Amino acid sequence: MSATTTPHQEELQKTQMQSKRDVGFEPRPELLMAARRGDWQQLERLLATPQPVRDVVVDIEIEEDVLTSGEAVTMAGDSVLHVVASSGDGEEILKSATAIHGKSSHLLFARNKKGDTPLHCAARAGRGRMVTHLLALATPARAENGHNDGGKKVKEFLRMQNKRGETALHEAVRLGDKDMVDRLMAEDPELARVPPADGASPLYLAVSLGHDDIARQLHEKDNALSFCGPDGRTALHAAVLKSKETTKMLLEWNKDLIKQAERSTGSTALHFAASSERAAGPIISLLLAAGPSLAYQPDNNGSFPIHVAAIADRGNALYTLLHGCHDCAELRDAKGGTFLHVAVVEESSWGVIEALNDDVSFIGNMQDNDGNTALHLAVQVGNQYICNKLMVNRLVKLNLTNNKGQTPLDLSWDMLPIYYGSVSNQLFFLKCTPQIFCCSMKELGYMIGYEMSVLHLVLAGGIPSTKGCA
């Protein structure tokens, strides 16, 4: 280490040298500048100049279409053609692409570190003329065996996928460029069928980005296109999070999409809609009309769409589900809980309570695998609001015991901190003479914590307790 080089600088130099070795990269600033500027004459001169031999070049295995050592001009592994493809699509830039192709035609199909070809780069940058130009260059480049298979090879070029499983069509869809989509699909009408490597199909991408016009364009070109999305999702999963119109469009194209579930969670499109703030009742109604049994399909955790709606506190979704499938109110999850149980535990009870009416109030008496009713759980989590709502409902029984033989009042006593013991005489008094306690439940709301739960239960009058008050 020299006297003018600090340890930090030396380590930085080593890191930079290692990075160059890892990507086969040696800086060629003149070539990069010419590519960026579209100086095709300078490019021709530089490409014709022999490059110095590298110190060590040992290639044991080289993948097809991967840049060889010395061909990358950026740390991202871009070739000079990748750079030109994304730099513009004026006449000088197009001539530069032609000049590069004339010297090194294989670069047209070369991939950078992300697996992108020059066509990916041109499409991502919105260079429509460059996309057309590269497709024209690809035709003779892959038809050199004397057979008229140029069209077939152009399709192979178009279908090349990067490491995300995306083709150039994905980039055109992402930009919302209808002209570019038309150009790519004209060369290969089945391009939207290319199965992504567990990624998003062009249609899924268009729907998820809200590009309904692009989605229609893709479907008009090929009605047998892929509806696939990541992790087993479909374009319908994305549609229900957008709008009623998009959902209706997808169902008209492929009604069977309602049956498909996300691989990791088992969630159907109805699970997604039930949890979404944007997915109003009309979207859920569309799904139920297409497949009523969808409301009875659980996810991998045993939760039905109605449980998901309760967890997310989506009152409108709950109302629509209960109206369309009344008996789904009785569905239980893996823990034996109804949608009311999970709403209490998740403390998302406002929308749930609004959806409750006398027709489904009976679920307030349903007990989970531990024997707890929703009121038991409300006491455990200290949810005063839902305690109020449940206790004033004449159909809800207040003296049911769980598997431990505890009523909700028993749980209230168990939850009281020791220093609240001094209120026991007052509670006993209130229990014995509730008629003289004239303040309302709202006024009681000024009290806090678990003391409130006990007072509410006491004021309900004569609730059996295995422990007593005194």
- Residue 239 pLDDT level (bands cut at 50, 70, 90): very high
Average model confidence (pLDDT) for the chain?
80
Q: Between vectors from CA 177 to CA 252 and to CA 232, what angle results, nearest 5°?
A: 45
Instruction: Return all residues near 47 (Cβ < 8 A) that are at least 6 apart.
Output: 31, 80, 99, 100, 103, 104
- Residue 338 pLDDT level (bands cut at 50, 70, 90): very high
Average pLDDT over residues 257-262: 96
Higher-pLDDT residue of 359 and 152 is 152
HSE-up (13 A, CA, CB side) for residue 100:
32
Residue 155 has pLDDT above 90, yes or no: yes
| Most confident option among 54-58, 68-72, 402-406, 429-433 | 402-406
Per residue in 351-377, pLDDT (tens digit) is 677 667 666 678 889 999 999 999 999
Give pLDDT, residue 53. 43
Give pLDDT, residue 221. 96
Q: Where are the domains of the chain?
A: 20-44+65-142+151-160
Give pLDDT, residue 176. 97
Distance of CA 174 to the CA centre of its chain: 16
The closest alpha carbon to 38, from 101, 107, 103, 94, belongs to 94
- Residue 82 pLDDT level (bands cut at 50, 70, 90): very high
Specify whether the CB–CB gap between 305 and 295 falls below 8 A.
yes
Torsion of CA 66, 68, 71, 76, to 10 degrees: 50
Contacts 24+ apart (CB under 8 A), 3-11: none
Higher-pLDDT residue of 146 and 109 is 109
- Residue 213 pLDDT level (bands cut at 50, 70, 90): very high
Give pLDDT, residue 50. 57
Residue 3 has pLDDT above 70, yes or no: no
CA distance 54 to 409: 82
Q: How many helices (H) and strands (E) does the chain have?
A: 26, 0
Which ranges of 231-383 does DSSP label H, i.e. alpha helix?
235-239, 244-253, 269-275, 281-290, 305-311, 315-324, 339-345, 350-355, 374-381
Higher-pLDDT residue of 335 and 23 is 335
Give pLDDT, residue 315. 87
Residue 413 has pLDDT above 60, yes or no: yes
Per residue in 99-132, pLDDT (tens digit) is 999 988 999 999 999 999 999 999 999 999 999 9
In 3-state terms the chain splits into helix, strand, coil percentages (rounded to 5) of: 60, 0, 40
Torsion of CA 386, 392, 395, 397, to 10 degrees: 70
Distance of CA 149 to the CA centre of its chain: 40
Give pLDDT, residue 120. 98
DSSP letter at 354 equals H
Weakest mean pLDDT among 24-28, 74-78, 108-112, 123-127: 24-28
Q: 20-44+65-142+151-160 domain in CATH 3.10.180.10?
A: no
Residue 150 has pLDDT above 90, yes or no: no
Residue 266, sorted as left (phi over 0), alpha (psi -120 to 50) or beta, turns out to be left
Residue 326 has pLDDT above 70, yes or no: yes
The two three-digit tokens of residue 202, written as one number:
């062009």
DSSP letter at 72 equals B
Average pLDDT over residues 154-181: 96
The residue whose two tokens read 């070369």 is: 110
Percent of the chain with pLDDT over 70: 72
The closest alpha carbon to 285, from 238, 319, 257, belongs to 319
The closest alpha carbon to 392, from 355, 436, 361, belongs to 361
- Residue 31 pLDDT level (bands cut at 50, 70, 90): confident
The two three-digit tokens of residue 167, written as one number:
């083709």
Three-state secondary structure call for residue 352 = helix
- Residue 163 pLDDT level (bands cut at 50, 70, 90): very high
